[in-house]
Amino acid sequence: MRKRVVVTGLGAVTPIGNTLEEYWQGLKEGRNGAGPLTKFDPVNFDTKFAFEVKNFDPLLYIDKKAVRRMDLFTQYAVATSIMAIQDSGINTEEIDLERAGVVYGSGIGGMETFEQQHRAFLEFGPGRVSPFFVPMMISDIAAGQISMQFKFRGPNYATTSACATSSHAIADAFMIIQRGTSDVMICGGSEASITKMAYAGFNSARAMSTWNDRFLEASRPFDKDRNGFVMGEGSGTLILEDYDHAVKRGAKIYAELIGVGLTGDAFHLTAPAPEGEGAFRSMRDAIRDAGIQTTDIDYINAHGTSTELNDLNETKAIKNLFGEHAYKMNISSTKSMTGHLLGASGAIESIAAVMALKNGIIPPTINLDEPSPECDLNYTPKVAVNRDIKYALSNTFGFGGHNASLIFKKFQ
């Protein structure tokens, strides 16, 4: 008998809001978080805009000395984890800390730290490289810092699977609780990769939009004029909890996580498998794991990156799996508002799906002026809509052919 797993706490730092409440309000309003780059001078770069986090103050959550020893991605992760624990109402002095763990990911890790320390190395030599360079840079350090913050001594590790990173973290945390190993898990992902090297690499790969004179319109999933993703940054954290444990302590419950689907394309470094075959199997396996039917799904928070191949193949996968029901669901890509948070995207989009379930409101896909001919589903264009949602599915698909689908159920 598998344990039931519920969501009891949420925390978010995003380009459209630095708390759960601000983020959710931004999604409902269709707020656009894009703007000109401020983190570095983009004069020599093809893309000169991004979805940056605004007005984040780590000192609201972390002491000054600790901040200096954390890359920005870790600051985001610790901050949203503190938010989520506070939101959950968990008193860490009243739970078994050996049955509380962390699975937390980053697709790239401390890119900013790496670039800063590499410049110091080239200019001044190895003696000027910080002793904190490695523990600030490595992708697993956010999970480590979070576990130390709360003294959680259960399972503690990181996932790294490109854009699917934080969905894999959530899936792993789900399965750990299901099998009875832990009662409480902090999970999610964080990314702070708006840096010179990341921009140079993605521009060279021709993956990012270059609509510098139309940056507010550049992230346009499923639109016929889409021409690449737009980089975002931030973090999302979920508290997953054993249902009985949550009920015993009188926790508020946002939703229930009931199924995961994890597949590999085994096809190409960056392109999705033809016809969205890997995405098809990921969604199919999540539905099977949840023990429901395709016709039960009301809403899909799509991966929807605003790239030509991804949007087309995700749409094909949805059509192939759901048949006529594909046209009865609402679908949206919240990346149209937040940009693509890479390894953190699955976490903030799972939060969007959970809040949609709880509130009966589906966030829109903004900038969808004219869908591609083959992208003919209901992508909830322009404005949010009210709809009673019982089951929501969140998709994330990463470079290397990593696919993850999560199914959340309205809690009753």
Same domain, 17 and 82: yes
pLDDT of residue 230: 98
**Are 344 and 166 within 8 A, CB to CB?**
yes
Catalytic-role residue among 187, 303, 375, 402 = 303
Give catalytic status of residue 375 as yes or no. no
Catalytic-role residue among 168, 340, 375, 402 = 340
Q: What is the largest CA-CA distance in the chain?
A: 64
Same domain, 391 and 277: yes
For the segment 97-122, the average pLDDT, to the nearest whole number, is 98
Share of the chain above pLDDT 70, in %: 100
Residue 256 lies in a domain: no
Element (H, E) at 162: none
Same domain, 186 and 308: no
Q: List pLDDT tens digits, range 268-286.
A: 998 999 999 999 999 999 9
Same domain, 105 and 237: yes
Q: List pLDDT tens digits, range 111-146.
A: 999 999 999 999 999 999 999 999 999 999 999 999
Same domain, 238 and 265: no
Same domain, 216 and 349: no
- Boundary residue ending a domain (248, 273, 293): 248
In sequence order, what are the residues at sequence separation of 6 or more whose Cβ sits closer than 8 angstroms to the Cβ of residue 21? none
Catalytic-role residue among 163, 168, 375, 402 = 163
Residue 326 lies in a domain: yes
Residue 254 lies in a domain: no
Distance, in Å, from the CA atom of 268 to the CA atom of 270, rounded to the nearest integer, reads 6
Q: List pLDDT tens digits, range 151-187.
A: 999 999 999 999 999 999 999 999 999 999 999 999 9
Same domain, 96 and 212: yes
**What average pLDDT does the structure give for the chain?**
97
In sequence order, what are the residues at sequence separation of 6 or more whose Cβ sits closer than 8 angstroms to the Cβ of residue 405? 167, 260, 261, 262, 279, 282, 283, 285, 286, 393, 394, 395, 396
Same domain, 398 and 349: yes
Residue 255 lies in a domain: no
Task: Specify the number of domains making up the chain.
Answer: 2
Give catalytic status of residue 187 as yes or no. no
For the segment 108-112, the average pLDDT, to the nearest whole number, is 97
> Per residue in 345-370, is it b (16+ CB within 10 Å) or e — as a string?
bbbbbbbbbbbbbbeebbbbbbbbee
Closest CA to 155 of 189, 184, 191: 184
- Boundary residue ending a domain (248, 281, 309): 248
* Residue numbers of the domain that contains 396: 261-410
Same domain, 281 and 356: yes
pTM of the model: 0.98
Distances in Å between the alpha carbon of 317 and those of 67, 282, 301, 321, 336? 43, 10, 14, 6, 20
Same domain, 208 and 340: no
**Which CATH number is 13's domain given?**
3.40.47.10
Same domain, 104 and 193: yes
pLDDT of residue 260: 98
Q: List pLDDT tens digits, range 34-57.
A: 999 999 999 999 999 999 999 999
- Boundary residue ending a domain (221, 248, 275): 248
- Is residue 412 predicted with pLDDT exceeding 90? no
**Are 401 and 266 within 8 A, CB to CB?**
yes
Same domain, 75 and 162: yes
Residue 351 lies in a domain: yes
Residue 47 lies in a domain: yes
Residue 173 lies in a domain: yes
For the segment 234-251, the average pLDDT, to the nearest whole number, is 98
For the segment 386-401, the average pLDDT, to the nearest whole number, is 97
E strand map for 265-328: 299-301
Residue 168 lies in a domain: yes
